[in-house]
A and B are shown apart, each in its own frame.
Chain A
Amino acid sequence: MIWLVASALLFSIGAYGALTRRTAILVFLSIELMLNAAALSLISFSKLSGSLDAQVVVLFIIAIAAAEVAVGLGLIVAIFRRRETTSVDELRQLRG
């Protein structure tokens, strides 16, 4: 099924972006791409196996992505106000 391959490719592209982007906002954008790829694979499996439960799970994914974006962008704005940067290379005070 071609859409399963498409979701695998999109997930890999999103992983590449999450690894290589330098600013937190763009890392977030790549993570949205990965979430969307997972949702696409769920919809494809729903079509293949004839189960509607996967579509319900996709609705939950979208709701959780909305919650995540609200909190994440709030964090980014708060960090930018305090530190004048959101570069993920410079924000490493929490490393072990």
Chain B
Amino acid sequence: MSAGFWEILALLVLVGTGIAVVRLQNAVHAALALIANFLVVAGVYVALEARFVAMVQIIVYAGAIVVLFLFVIMLLSAASANVGADFLPRLPWVAGLGALALAGVLTFAVTRFQPPAGAPALGGGLPQALGPLLYDPEKWLYALLVVGFLLLVATVAAVVLIEPERIIAATGHPAHPRQEKKPNPPIAEQKDERAVVKR
């Protein structure tokens, strides 16, 4: 397949921003390079008839996920410093060689792919083409429900991970030492106290 000017340019920008993500020393710059990479990938999605996925890519990936990354990088600026001694001094070289070998194998694998003749149209990858697949019980409906539940569980887990002490205090878990010192009075007793005050 012949590649036009814009395809070559997009390929170069993709690889350049990818190398920037893994090589830049400043973590904020690396995250910004990742945003650039995701935006270019979204443009490629539009070119490949996946317009809804391109919008989701911009909104969720570049808009939400990387911003969460930037938030954590700026919150824990000490955590993102590239400090510490390497255990394996030659690891960058070995990893570079491994990555080159992986790139060679993957490129060989994907260029062997023979597309089937007479491929049907994708409908531009618009929601009216994707929706019936997504909500079809014989296709992806149950996977969609499971992924939604996974998102809910992950969000709850993230909240619990960030502040376990406060969660334990709020639920009155007996194992927590602070809770044992000052137990919350039962609701019935609270009502009685209020009644005493009124009198």
Residues of A within 8 A of B (CB): 1-17, 19-26, 28-30, 32-33, 36, 39-41, 43-50, 52-53, 55-56, 58-60, 62-71, 73-78, 80, 84-87, 89-90
A-B contacts, 8 of them at CB < 8 A, read A2-B8, A5-B110, A6-B44, A13-B19, A58-B53, A67-B155, A68-B154, A77-B72
- Known A24-B79, A25-B69; 7 more pairs at CB < 8 Å: A5-B110, A39-B57, A46-B49, A62-B60, A67-B155, A74-B159, A78-B161
User: CB distance A12 to B37 under 8 Å?
Assistant: no
Please measure, in the bound complex, the distance between the C-alpha atom of A58 and the C-alpha atom of B86, giving whole angstroms: 36
Least distance between A49 CB and chain B CB atoms (Å): 6
Q: Of B129, B154, B164, which is within 8 A of A52 by CB?
A: B129
Chain B nearest CB: distance from A35 CB in Å? 9
User: B80 near A23 (CB under 8 angstroms)?
Assistant: yes
Beta-carbon nearest neighbor of A79 in chain B: B79
Residue in A25, A28, A56 whose beta carbon sits within 8 Å of that of B130 in the complex:
A56
